[in-house]
């Protein structure tokens, strides 16, 4: 059964809140791109060189990263420019709303 985009993002928010309560202010939305390992959430918050190293530095496996809406797998669709753009836009909207205090996730 496929999860909704909101469910994935809510799980991601819960993980990030536990990982670093100030994560929202550390994300540069000007360069943010879920499809780019250097500019995605894990790329901007994790330590290490590769996506895998950064994920592991945050205590995440690749599967867990996908379940948190940090990457794309079969739950959201086949990885493509379109699916990455959709996920990026959804995260930008949520982060922007949370920073403004209006997210209702």
Residue 90 lies in a domain: yes
The CA distance from 84 to 105, in Å, is 20
pLDDT tens digits along 1-33: 357 888 999 999 999 999 999 999 999 999 999
**pLDDT tier, 72 (very low <50, low <70, confident <90, very high otherwise):** confident
Count of CB atoms situated within 10 Å of the CB of 91: 24
Percentage of the chain lying above the pLDDT 90 cut: 51
Residue 46 belongs to some domain of the structure: yes
Give kind and range of the element (H or E) at residue 15: helix 5-19
Range of the domain at 52: 5-100
Whether 105 is covered by a domain: the verdict is: no
C-alpha–C-alpha distance, residues 59 and 82, integer Å? 28
Distance (Å, whole) CA 105 – CA 12: 11
Whether the per-residue pLDDT at 75 is higher than 60: the answer is no
Q: How far is CA 82 from CA 22, 53, 79, 100, in A?
A: 29, 26, 8, 27
* Domain-embedded: residue 85: yes
pLDDT, tens only, 21-65: 999 999 999 999 998 989 999 999 998 888 889 999 999 998 899
> Is 24 a member of any domain?
yes
| Number of separate domains in the chain | 1
Mean predicted lDDT score pLDDT of the chain: 86
Q: Which residue has the higher pLDDT, 14 or 78?
A: 14
Say which DSSP state 27 is in. -
Give me the pLDDT at residue 1, please.
32
Q: Is residue 30 part of a domain?
A: yes
């Amino acid at each position: 059964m496929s999860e909704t985009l909101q469910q994935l993002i809510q799980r991601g928010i819960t993980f990030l809140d536990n990982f670093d309560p100030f994560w929202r202010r550390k994300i540069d939305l000007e360069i943010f791109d879920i499809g780019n390992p250097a500019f995605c959430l894990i790329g901007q918050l994790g330590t290490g060189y590769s996506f895998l190293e950064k994920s592991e530095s945050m205590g995440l496996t690749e599967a867990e990263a996908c379940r948190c809406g940090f990457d794309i797998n079969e739950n959201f669709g086949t990885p493509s420019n379109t699916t990455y753009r959709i996920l990026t836009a959804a995260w930008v909207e949520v982060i922007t709303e949370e920073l403004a205090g209006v997210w209702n996730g």
